[in-house]
């Protein structure tokens, strides 16, 4: 009898992870959905730092779906006062905060099998993956696109030549509203993504 890998997954993993994996089963005839997201963090070391907030917005048919978004703030078990001037999130701030596990689960429920988009997105993905590791499940399965890499391809730049989100916003005349908030950066990156996507004809 053939080994039933799916039954093993169901047995060995929590329901939220099984639900997430189910979106990647073959022959799912769905329209293309992108999710542009950003994580505000306590720092840039994905091993020792933690996520402070996650902001994400969906794109379908080359339009930002304003009503299809998420924003969560996380309870801080790691607090670095020196990073507060950047992201503005205080440990005892007024935002309603949830534990990391709940935030990660909500994020999976929101993204489903969408293509993830971000600026220097590998870092944000790794921060999510570290949270998933603490839940003792696997890594994100979604395809991903990086607006920095898209700009490199558009301008035939070498891989080692990177551009900041601020620089590209200035180039493409995108207002930097709510910069350095997760939801603000996600929306700004979504606008940038649509401009680059059009220019690259993808």
Q: How would you label 103-142 residue by residue, b for 16+ Cβ within 10 Å and e otherwise? A: bbbbbbebbbbbebbbbbbeebbebbbbbbeebebeebeb
Question: In sequence order, what are the residues at sequence separation of 6 or more whose Cβ sits closer than 8 angstroms to the Cβ of residue 168?
Answer: 119, 147, 148, 151, 174, 192
> What average pLDDT score do residues 157-177 get?
95
Return d(Cα 47, Cα 133) in angstroms, integer.
11
59 versus 5: the higher-pLDDT residue is 59
| Six token digits for residue 107 | 């994020």
pLDDT of 114 strictly over 70: yes
Return d(Cα 82, Cα 119) in angstroms, integer.
23
**Tell me: the pLDDT tens digits for 177-198?**
888 789 999 999 999 999 999 9
What's the topology of domain 30-200? Answer: Nucleotidyltransferase; domain 5 (3.30.420)
Return d(Cα 49, Cα 77) in angstroms, integer.
10
| Residue 35 near residue 56 (C-beta atoms within 8 A) | yes
33 versus 11: the higher-pLDDT residue is 33
Return d(Cα 196, Cα 202) in angstroms, integer.
9
**Tell me: the pLDDT tens digits for 46-68?**
889 999 999 999 999 999 998 99
> What average pLDDT score do residues 92-115 get?
91
Relative to beta strand 115-118, strand 144-146 is: parallel
**Tell me: the pLDDT tens digits for 19-42?**
999 999 865 667 799 999 999 999
**Tell me: the pLDDT tens digits for 139-150?**
999 999 999 999
For the ranges 21-35, 72-86, 110-124, 167-181, the lowest mean pLDDT is seen at 72-86
């Amino acid at each position: 009898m053939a080994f039933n890998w799916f039954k093993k997954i169901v047995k060995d993993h929590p329901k939220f992870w099984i639900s997430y994996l189910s979106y990647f089963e073959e022959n799912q005839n769905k329209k293309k959905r992108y999710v542009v997201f950003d994580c505000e963090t306590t720092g840039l070391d994905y091993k020792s730092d933690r996520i402070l907030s996650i902001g994400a917005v969906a794109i379908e048919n080359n339009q930002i779906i304003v009503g299809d978004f998420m924003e969560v703030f996380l309870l801080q078990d790691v607090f670095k006062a020196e990073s507060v001037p950047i992201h503005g999130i205080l440990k005892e701030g007024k935002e309603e905060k949830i534990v990391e596990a709940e935030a990660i689960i909500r994020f999976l429920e929101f993204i489903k099998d969408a293509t993830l988009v971000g600026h220097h997105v590998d870092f944000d993905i790794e921060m999510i993956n570290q949270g998933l590791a603490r839940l003792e499940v696997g890594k994100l399965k979604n395809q991903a696109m990086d607006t920095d890499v898209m700009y490199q391809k558009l301008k035939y730049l070498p891989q080692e030549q990177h551009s900041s989100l601020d620089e590209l916003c200035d180039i493409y005349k995108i207002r930097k509203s709510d910069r350095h908030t997760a939801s603000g950066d996600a929306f700004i990156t979504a606008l940038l993504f649509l401009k680059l996507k059009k220019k690259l004809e993808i």
